[in-house]
A and B are shown apart, each in its own frame.
Chain A
Amino acid sequence: MHTGARTALLIGLAGLVYGQPAVLLDVMASELDRNFQVLKEKSDPPAYYLSYAITEQDYSIISASFGAVTAHDQGRSRTLDVSVRVGSPKLDNYHRVRGDRARFTSGAPLTVDDEPGAIRRRIWLDTDRAWRAATERLVKIRTGTQVRVAEEDESDDFSQEDPQVHLQDRQPAVFRASEWEPRLRDLSKRFDRYPGVLTADVTVVWQDETRYFTDSAGSRLRHGRGYARVVISARGKAADGMDLGTGATFEAADPARLPSQAELAKAVDRVAQDLEALLKAPVSDPYVGPAIFSGRAAGVFFHEIFGHRVEGHRQKDESEGQTFTRGVGTRVLPEFLSVTFDPTRRDAAGTDLNGWYLYDDEGVAARPVQVVEDGVLKTFLMSRSPVRGFDRSNGHGRRQPGYEVVARQSNLLVESSRTVPEKRLRELLIEEVKRQGKPYGLYFRDVTGGFTQTARGGVQAFKVLPVLVYRVYPDGRPDELVRGADIVGTPLASFGKILATSDRTEVFNGYCGAESGRVPVAAVAPALLVSEIEIEKRASAQDRPPLLPPPGGAR
């Protein structure tokens, strides 16, 4: 028998209640004191820091395809992350060791009922487990560091931060699943009109998250937010076998702020029409030359090739490429560009930003961090793991529950002092095409995100996966959509080639996956004109489109 146990999803019981006594925080705090007292006195090496983070998530996911609901799941869960530090801030169990990533938390599931006995027991067991792993690793590290030559970066392992106390009172938004089912049926049914669309989904995801945090320094936090998202996607197969897909996403902190049904219907049609156009489009040729990235595409470009390389911990990890480690105070971008990461910013260009939060996952208050000012690198994104020259966190220690914290991006904002209207940017592209004697330029309208290789030894390359790419001809011919283009390149080279930006910014909301799991992020950027970009032809599937025509007829 099939038990349906393929993926485990958890389900909601009762709504969250706010403004009530903080039962969970009280239990966490008292269990923390009890455990910490003993670990400080009896552990060898002694514990000097202990924190508990509990993430409470309520969520719903509904999907529909061609008018039929295909999934409807809801859940509620609480996950515990324990962090024990033994030794001293100078050298502790989190010390970065080449090729060995510290992992002490297991993301233990907790009761969603406020059942103090059960919560205490789980916390106690997990503290014991994390502490064992911590002492074991520190003993190994101490033996290792005595024999190894001095490390390049001798900064501490843990920064000193002020304890924070804040109990946010908030009313979680209401998600009406019963309204979304018919809405998704109607929206997904629209794909019926587009014969090129083989499979398609419209999905709504609602997640309300509350984070609880206590530590041995006296922090006591409760804060949270909601994430609502509509994802539209369609896939098809070109006559030569190439798999193609298009999509659109909409994010808001409250489901009520998602686009109207009419706007979503328009988006479904656009996704389907884009796909049908792509199916008929010529295959892109390898190309080197000038291009425009739309604001959304530029956002991903910056997130991948720049953002990941200013994450603090990478500057200390000797297995990392460390593109910018010695770059502070030097010019890393054109002087008309500045980059800020601002987790306190809630929206931009009329869209809620995915990367905002009040406190990071080490209990440090969120704050805007200007990483690049007029092209010059000023600082890194910092968690509580110091790197040479930067001994404090700037509120960017983040993780998905169950992972260890590292420095991660929040809302990336690209600001430009050399802006032109979009129309002018296009003219500049054509001028550049002519100057370089190229047959055409490229316009990247949309991308699905990408990945970056930052490790030393690996190729220091990035890959952004463009969805909609147009050839822009200098002779006034209409733009021509092409398919199968992949951007390739090395990061440093790409930065020097930004010539100008538009005066209008766009938002790309998404989820970024890295060492500390999947975290919500956003990138806000103007369109960019670059003098040179390289694209390669995407490796393509060889098999044919479906052999039989779609089934017809109703029964």
Chain B
Amino acid sequence: MRPAQAAWLAGVLLAASAAAAPAPAPGPVLSAMEDELKRSRTLALPGLERPYFIEYTIDDVRSFAVSATGGGVVSVRRRRMRVPDIKVRVGDYRFDNTNYVGSGFPFGSRYDVGRFPLDDLYPVLRRFLWLGADSAYKSAVEALARKRAALKSVTAGERLDDFARAEPTVLLREIRPQALDEEGWIARARELSSLLARRAELKYSTIELEAVENVHHYVNTEGSRVRIPERMIFLRARALAQAADGMHLRDAATFHASDFDGLDPAALARAVAELSNHTAAMARAPVGKLYSGPVLFEGAAAAQLFAEVLGGNLAPTRRPVTEPRRPAAFPSSQLEGRQGARVLPEWMDVIDDPTQTEWRGRRLFGSFLVDREGVRPQPLVIVEKGVLKNFLLTRQPVRGWNGSNGRARLPGRFGHSTAAISNLFVRAAQTVPAAQLRKRMAEICETRGKPYGIVVRKMDFPSSASTEEVRRLLAGARSSGQPVSLPVLVYRVWPDGREELVRGLKFRGLNARSLKDILAAGDEEHVFDYLNNTARFALMGLGGYVAETSVVAPSVLIDDLELEPVEEEHPKLPLVAPPPS
């Protein structure tokens, strides 16, 4: 998975699929999984369905995390855990125990096997799998019985299959753990946090680093056998400042790599210094005013916009069978049912390609070999000439689609996984130089008599907000549909080209449909890496499962967007002056 080994990696893929080269030894974990899987096919309760599909996943995780503030370490965490995920399906592909509100709920007793043995002891691993499969099977037959009962009194709409067939995947990779300079990273976290703390205007700041090495094991009763290494390291710098009127301004800078040597210390220091500068500048900036007109998303902000507004709406959702008289709301994607419709200008294309590992000499963060359901992904055309062609699919059949395209990347609900993007490439056939984009915006402003245009350079996505702030944001936006992340770096651009940073603005009504109004795209593309998860705004640090993601996109000018001040009461300034630093 290292950049320099892309060619080598392709070679391994070929060898594995051709089954020509001697396969690496399976080792005790995979052997225990395969042997116990075989036995669990015979699970049966008198008079009830037998399993028709079983899958075992074991993630063998080693993680190292350090956090620091003001030059001091707050915590250092080293973890090793083997996390199991055991799924049993009863019934058949057409109708099974999933896609029901109670699917995945553990009915009956759960054995305490959440933390699997860390020692490579084959018999003990089998013992844990034995108990895990037993309770998964019992829960599955119970869920199926309840689902049938529920369907007696409610009519499900269109009858879709419950599970799509997929080609089995056999892919065993050698595991070569990479050394991590833990002491070096502890020292660097101290240094970087001390760099942030030097800026007196910052009220608080932290540095968090995490390095994860995982060996992902997967087997299923269709014949899939997978063992692949996964590795990543990321660093987050967070800064908080308070304006004179009490408004809190926060931002974060994040860095990701698929390789422990992939973070450049000099670049980290530069970006941390920049974070500290612009957070302090935000606190001094004037509060933005209501605006409606063209908005230019520059650099990372454009990639962030596509990640959230397009990437976040590409997984169709399926309404589960619910309990009679207990209606529940399930969110749906903004693009649902719009395949064949125009969603972008006709000169734009979007491709999701996890098989690509590099882009212009830069390692892509969103590449992967096999998804959580053991399906190998292929490049996927999402939008062609502005028209929506495909969705991201898992093995969960959804209206109009039955068959995975290998995008099951995050845990899902009701017995299924959630689809997510990998390396998303947004391409424009017509582009203009950056200066031209600004000129175009200025022209529109002039024609419409607007005193200034708006440039956004950074969005708060994934969000560095507190969960409480997210709650407020969602509550505040209830009337105006699903909110998007707050813009962090927003500038007024005056007719003479002068830029002025403003604070405290949010978008009104920005959503997937807004992308149709893209007027122009820049001739330079930016790549933005992030960790996706199932939380709103991909809130940083939430959830045990993440999907590494890259978005490559040009700057874009969008017409007719609205920004308004965030209406909130601000906390007063502290009564006591800050301590001398």
* A residues whose Cβ falls under 8 Å from a Cβ of B: 1-6, 8-13, 31, 34-35, 38-39, 42-43, 63, 65-77, 109-115, 117-125, 127-128, 131-132, 185, 198-199, 201, 235, 237, 241, 243, 541-544, 546-548, 550-551, 553-555
- Within 8 Å by CB of A72, from B112, B118, B546, lies B118
A residues within 8 A CB of B541? Answer: 5
Which of chain B's residues 32-66 have a Cβ closer than 8 Å to chain A?
A: 32, 35-36, 39-40, 42-45, 59, 61-63, 65
Task: Say whether B578 faces chain A, with CB atoms less than 8 Å apart.
Answer: yes
Assess the A235–B42 pair: CB atoms within 8 A. no
Our pick among A2, A38, A128, A546 for the contact of B83 (Cβ within 8 Å) is: A2
Given contact pairs A2-B544, A111-B69, A548-B43, A199 touches B112 in the complex (Cβ within 8 A): yes
Tell me if B122 counts as interface (CB < 8 A to partner A): yes
Which of A2, A66, A543 has the most chain B CB atoms closer than 10 A to its own CB? A2
A53 to chain B, nearest CB (A): 18
Whether B126 and A4, one on each chain, are in contact in the complex, defined by CB atoms closer than 8 angstroms, is: no
Q: How long is the Cα–Cα vector from A375 to B395 in the complex, in angstroms?
A: 69
What is the 8 Å Cβ interface bit string for chain B, positions 152-194, against chain A (1 contact, 0 not)? 0000000000000000000000000000000000100010010
A10 and B75 contacting across the interface, CB-CB below 8 Å: yes
**Using Cβ atoms and an 8 Å threshold, which residues of chain B touch A122?**
69, 204
Given A117-B70, A542-B108, A548-B42, do A553 and B75 touch, yes or no (CB 8 Å)?
no
Which B residues are CB-close (under 8 A) to A77?
A: 75
Bound together, the chains give a CA A5 to CA B81 distance in angstroms of 10
SS class, residues of chain A in contact with chain B: mixed
**CB < 8 Å neighbour of B134 from A120, A125, A547:** A547
| CB closest residue in chain B, given A119 | B72
Interface secondary structure of B, over-half rule: mixed
In contact, B575 and A118 (Cβ under 8 angstroms):
no
Asked if B579 contacts A31 (CB within 8 A), the reply is: yes
Between A and B, 19 residue pairs with Cβ closer than 8 Å are A1-B232, A2-B59, A3-B210, A9-B77, A11-B75, A12-B76, A68-B124, A71-B115, A75-B75, A76-B76, A114-B72, A120-B579, A124-B574, A128-B574, A237-B109, A543-B109, A547-B45, A548-B42, A551-B36
Residue of B nearest to A241 (CB): B109
Q: Return A16 CB to nearest CB of chain B, in Å.
A: 15
Among A65, A121, A543, the residue within 8 A (CB) of B70 is: A121
Q: Verify B544–A5 contact, CB threshold 8 A.
A: yes
The answer to whether A113 touches B72 (Cβ under 8 A) is yes
Contact A34 B579 (CB under 8 A): yes
Query: Out of B39, B190, B578, B581, which one reaches A551, CB within 8 Å?
Result: B39
Return chain B residues, CB-CB under 8 Å to A185: 119
Q: How far is the CB of B251 from chain A (nearest CB, A)?
A: 18
Q: Does B230 interact with chain A (Cβ within 8 Å)? A: yes
Chain B residues with CB below 8 A from A199, complex form: 111-113, 131
Q: How far is the CA of A544 from the CA of B48 in the complex (A)?
A: 14
Chain A minimum-CB-distance residue to B142: A543
Given A66-B124, A71-B118, A118-B197: A3 in contact with B70 (beta carbons within 8 A): no
Q: How far is the CB of B181 from chain A (nearest CB, A)?
A: 16
Name the one of B123, B134, B543, B544 contacting A546, with C-beta atoms under 8 angstroms: B134
Q: Which residues of A contact B212 (CB under 8 A)?
A: 1-4
Taking a contact as CB atoms under 8 Å apart, the answer to whether B115 and A70 are in contact is yes
Asked whether A111 and B70 contact (CB < 8 A) given A1-B230, A69-B117, A70-B116, the answer is yes
How close is A162's CB to chain B, nearest CB, in angstroms? 27
Interchain CA distance A525-B309 in the complex, whole Å: 65
A309 to chain B, nearest CB (A): 33
A142 to B143, CA, bound (A): 54
State how many angstroms separate the Cβ of B469 from the closest Cβ of chain A.
15
Contact A4 B137, CB 8 Å, known A68-B121, A112-B72, A547-B44: no
A132 nearest in chain B by CB position: B571
Q: Are B63 and A4 in contact (CB under 8 A)?
A: yes
Are B35 and A555 touching (Cβ within 8 A)? yes
How far, in angstroms, from A103 to B581 measured CA to CA in the complex? 29
Closest 6 CB pairs of A and B: A118-B70, A115-B72, A111-B72, A68-B117, A543-B108, A113-B72
Q: Whole-angstrom distance between the alpha carbons of A125 and B242 in the complex? A: 12
B380 within 8 A of A: no
Interchain CB contact under 8 A, B544 and A6: yes
Q: Does B127 contact A (CB under 8 A)?
A: yes
Alpha-carbon separation in the docked complex, A316 to B515 (Å): 62
Known A-B contacts: A185-B119, A547-B44, A551-B39. Give 7 more (CB < 8 A).
Answer: A2-B214, A10-B75, A12-B76, A77-B75, A117-B71, A125-B204, A551-B36
CB distance A72 to B73 under 8 Å? Answer: no
Contact status B72-A10, CB under 8 Å: no
Which B residue's beta carbon lies closest to that of A110?
B74
Residues of B contacting A42 in the complex (Cβ-Cβ under 8 angstroms):
575
B227 to chain A, nearest CB (A): 14
B138 close to A (CB within 8 Å)? yes
A38 touches B576 (CB 8 A): yes
Which B-chain residue is minimally distant from A47 (CB atoms)? B575
A69 CB contacts on chain B under 8 angstroms: 117-119
Docked pose: A70 CA to B115 CA in angstroms: 6
Whether B548 sits at the interface, judged by CB under 8 Å, is yes
Cβ–Cβ < 8 Å partners of A75 in chain B: 75, 77
Give the distance to chain B from A64, nearest Cβ to Cβ, in Å: 8
Q: Which residue of B lies closest to A66 (CB)?
A: B124
Q: Which residues of A contact B73 (CB under 8 A)?
A: 13, 111-113
B93 at the interface (CB under 8 A from A): no
Q: Which of B513-570 contact A (CB under 8 A)?
A: 541, 543-548
Q: Are A67 and B70 in contact (CB under 8 A)?
A: no
B347 at the interface (CB under 8 A from A): no
What CA separation (Å) do A69 and B71 show in the bound complex? 35
Most buried by B among A72, A122, A546: A546
A330 to chain B, nearest CB (A): 46
Q: How far is the CA of A245 from the CA of B147 in the complex (A)?
A: 32
Report if A4-B72 is in contact (Cβ < 8 Å); known contacts: A11-B77, A550-B130.
no
Which of B81, B108, B576 interacts with A541 by CB under 8 Å?
B108
List B contacts of A546 (CB < 8 A).
Answer: 130-131, 134
B203 an interface residue at 8 Å Cβ cutoff? yes
User: Does B355 reach chain A (CB closer than 8 Å)?
Assistant: no
B62 touches A548 (CB 8 A): no
Closest chain A residue to B212 by CB distance?
Answer: A3
B82 — nearest CB in chain A belongs to which residue?
A70
Q: A3-B61, A3-B545, A71-B118 are in contact. Are A112 and B74 (CB under 8 A)?
A: yes
Q: Are B126 and A551 in contact (CB under 8 A)?
A: yes
Interface centre among A38, A198, A241, A541 (most CB of B within 10 A): A198
- In the complex, are the beta carbons of B581 and A117 less than 8 A apart? yes
Chain B residues within 8 Å of A9, by CB:
77, 79
B28 at the interface (CB under 8 A from A): yes
List CB contacts (< 8 Å) of B469-506 with chain A: none
Closest to A131 in B: B575
Given that A70-B117, A199-B111 are contacting pairs, would A113 and B42 also be in contact in the complex, using a CB cutoff of 8 Å? no
Residues of B within 8 A of A547 (CB): 43-45, 134, 137
Q: Is the CB of A115 within 8 A of B578?
A: no
Per the 8 Å Cβ criterion, residues 413-428 of B in contact with A are: none
| Residue B221 at the chain A interface, CB threshold 8 Å | no
Q: A67 to B119, alpha carbons, bound, how many Å? A: 9
- A9 to B544: give the CA distance in the assembly, Å: 14
- Does B80 interact with chain A (Cβ within 8 Å)? yes
The interface residues of chain A lying within 8 Å CB-to-CB of B59 are 1-2
B544, A3: Cβ atoms closer than 8 Å: yes
What residue of chain B has the Cβ atom nearest to residue A3's Cβ? B212
Q: How far is the CA of A35 from the CA of B203 in the complex (A)?
A: 16
Check B31 for interface membership: any CB of A closer than 8 A.
Answer: yes
> In the bound complex, what is the Cα–Cα distance between A545 and B433 (angstroms)?
70
What residues of A have a CB within 8 angstroms of the CB of B193 in the complex? 118
Q: Is B314 an interface residue (CB 8 A)?
A: no
Which residues of B are found within 8 Å of A124, using beta-carbon distances? 574, 576, 578-579
Whole-angstrom distance between the alpha carbons of A122 and B116 in the complex?
38
- Select one of B35, B118, B137, B186 contacting A68, CB under 8 A: B118
- Confirm or deny: B78 has a beta carbon within 8 angstroms of a beta carbon on chain A: yes
Q: How far is the CA of A187 from the CA of B116 in the complex (A)?
A: 18
